[in-house]
Structure 1
Amino acid sequence: MSTYSFHTIEPCGYFGREYPVSLFHLREHLALQSLNNRYSFFVLHEKSKKLFAEVHFHGDGPAAISPMRAPFGSCVFSEKLPPEVLFDFILFAEEELRKDKINTIILKPAPAGYFPEQHNLLVPVLLNLNYGIQQAEVSAIVPVTERPFPEIIDSWENRKLRQAREAELVARLIHDENLEMVYSFILECRQQKHYSLSMTFEEVKLVVSKFPERFVLFGVFDQDNLAAAAITVRVTDDVLYNFYSDHHTNYDHFSPVVMLIESEYEYCRHQGLRLLDLGTSSAGGKLNFPLLDFKMRLGGMPSPKFTFVKTI
């Protein structure tokens, strides 16, 4: 019997996964992404009866997309999985998709900094399977260490942090019952700058209702007035993702987002999280260099985030 077997449905009676899995790979979240056809593929280690890899797609006409609606998806797998098995597994998924008249595959893995070892194997495997890079983005990821936030950021941002404190701005957690208030505030801030949000409040509310323990709200207050706010998501056991955040233009001179990110970073430190993901920096599908520079001044390390595409 082969050491590994490939499956088109989740195997019955398996004894856990040999790899970290994100929120966006959970079946409950996959069900929220789309009502379209879903295709799931798994690698089972026959001796241990543990999963060693998985990938999920939603159909969109002749295309299979992973993820349909989430920051990332694609294939996740154990560091112990032999490269040849990963290669064959992706071929297996392609062949199964082709049977259902799928002719295009789109994969968006997590930023490289989440799972560096897996990313360093997955990218060359995909390139050798003739996947092309459809989009190249840069995430800014802050490694969380014992060092306090002021020690890891640029001197200019430290100055802004001190100014905010001198103005008696205060950062604190916001209870999730105030989700609509936080969402509406961020939406108003985006509209001030002629931007929008990718999800409606009802869509965000639905996801939060399904995974309340995964979402953490932060705010920077000027007495009772919000100056800045964030909706963050614990996307893995050790990564906090800054999903939506912004500040009111009335507080531009204090740059309250610096204090906001400090509160997220300190939360990560106290919760034992490894990374704080400040997200990508793009506008109109192109790199937004000023935004990326700002995130890097806050301790963010550039981490490539690719979208791959292949015609099969």
Structure 2
Amino acid sequence: MEKRNFRWVKGLHEVRRGTLYSFKDESHSFKPDLFNTPDHLSTQGHKDSFLFCLSRINSPMISALIHFYKERGLNFHSPYRAPFGGINCSEDCTAEELNFLLCCVNKTAICEKIKYVTITARPSCYNQALHEVTDKIYLQAGFIHFLNQRNFHIEVRQLPFSDIICKQESRRLNKCKREGFEVAQVMNPVMSTIYLFLENSFKQKQYPLSISGSQLDTLFNRFPDKFLVFAVHSESRLIAVSIAVRVNERVLYNFLMADLHSYRSFSPGVLLYEGIYTYCQKEEIIILDQGISVDHNGLEKPELIRFKKNLGGQESLKITYKKYL
């Protein structure tokens, strides 16, 4: 890991590079997404990780940042093990400032003889206006759209969940309720039980889980107020579960979801989504991020896409950028 910082100055702006905790005592002019905080980055399991931070000379606060890890000393990637990385910044950051930030990344990559830089940005639905700005910045800096993926999200409004879903899913929702199924947030979850349920469900579908039990334990222990469990029970039996992540004040990300195969005809996932949607309403969360819909080979899953759309899911764009040096 880098033991020293690097600093560049241009006009009234400066960019510094440092280790994950080099800037831990400095304030920000914005609240970074969870996946871009040093505490979360430190759980991603890569030792050679670092940050570039942009600030204004006349202000002590960080106004933009981007993190990377170095792969085998040859490539820069953002992120290592998270849904996204990329530029995280204040809404008042100018194109000039963000260009300067990426220019410093580029200078560093060239100096260290890096072959390419890869950045997976957050979905456009998180902030459409800011997405359009950063997309132009990446392209101007010489990046290409290496991978465009369809992401889905639900806009959380005052309307009840039953009003935003299609009639077919509404019937399934009512069926779950007639059966007496109940959905609730699980307080103080036993993670070994939750993980075993997820693991068995994924095995039945012949899909690998993207996270280990120990990694999940670490995340829940480190971020008990950010990683949440929602579950559907039939009396005392667990029949569906979801792990959601509070990415920022505006967004809840539905990270992992599974149900019991023997109850699939009831579609308890619909009731599960209602519980999560209701939680978002209470917490004034405006975006329920449903994520991308691909299998372990990166191929889209049409049935999952249809399910998300039936629940009111809207399409947005998640871009992975790449620059060859």
Correspondence for 2:269 among 254, 257, 261:
257
| Corresponding position of 2:254 | 242
| Corresponding position of 2:306 | 293
**Residue ranges of structure 2 left out of the alignment (5+ in a row):** 1-9
Greater Cα offset, 80-89 or 224-233: 80-89
| Corresponding position of 2:5 | none
For these two proteins, the number of residue pairs brought into alignment is 311
| Corresponding position of 1:165 | 177
8 Å contact from structure 1 (residues 182, 229) kept in 2: yes
CA distance in 2 between counterparts of 1:168 and 1:85 reads 55
| Corresponding position of 2:105 | 93
Once superposed, what is the RMSD of the aligned Cα atoms?
1.6
TM-score, scaled to structure 1: 0.95
Greater Cα offset, 218-227 or 120-129: 120-129
TM-score, scaled to structure 2: 0.92
Greater Cα offset, 279-288 or 65-74: 279-288
CA distance in 2 between counterparts of 1:176 and 1:196 reads 26
Using the TM superposition, give the Cα deviation of residue 239 of structure 1 relative to its aligned residue in structure 2, in angstroms: 1.1
Correspondence for 2:46 among 35, 47, 59:
35
2:210 aligns to what SS in structure 1? Answer: coil
* Amino acid across the alignment from 1:282: V
Q: 1:154 to 1:223 in 2, by over 3 A?
A: same
CA distance in 1 between counterparts of 2:127 and 2:109 reads 26
**Pairs within 5 Å for 1:191-270:** 191-270=203-282
Report whether the alignment pairs 1:52 with 2:63: yes
Please give the per-residue CA displacement for 1:117-143, whole angstroms capped at 9, x wherever unaligned. 221111122122221222221221111
8 Å contact from structure 1 (residues 247, 257) kept in 2: yes
| Corresponding position of 2:17 | 8
8 Å contact from structure 2 (residues 219, 227) kept in 1: no
8 Å contact from structure 2 (residues 198, 257) kept in 1: yes
8 Å contact from structure 1 (residues 174, 218) kept in 2: yes
| Corresponding position of 2:287 | 275
| Corresponding position of 1:152 | 164
1:177 aligns to what SS in structure 2? Answer: coil
8 Å contact from structure 1 (residues 56, 74) kept in 2: yes
Q: How many percent of aligned residue pairs carry the same amino acid?
A: 27
* Amino acid across the alignment from 1:6: V
Please give the per-residue CA displacement for 1:24-64, whole angstroms capped at 9, x wherever unaligned. 11111111113331221111112222211100001112111
2:304 aligns to what SS in structure 1? Answer: helix
1:32 aligns to what SS in structure 2? Answer: coil
Q: 1:45 to 1:12 in 2, by over 3 A?
A: farther
* Amino acid across the alignment from 2:194: V
**Pairs within 5 Å for 1:126-141:** 126-141=138-153
CA distance in 2 between counterparts of 1:13 and 1:305 reads 31
Q: 1:11 to 1:223 in 2, by over 3 A?
A: closer
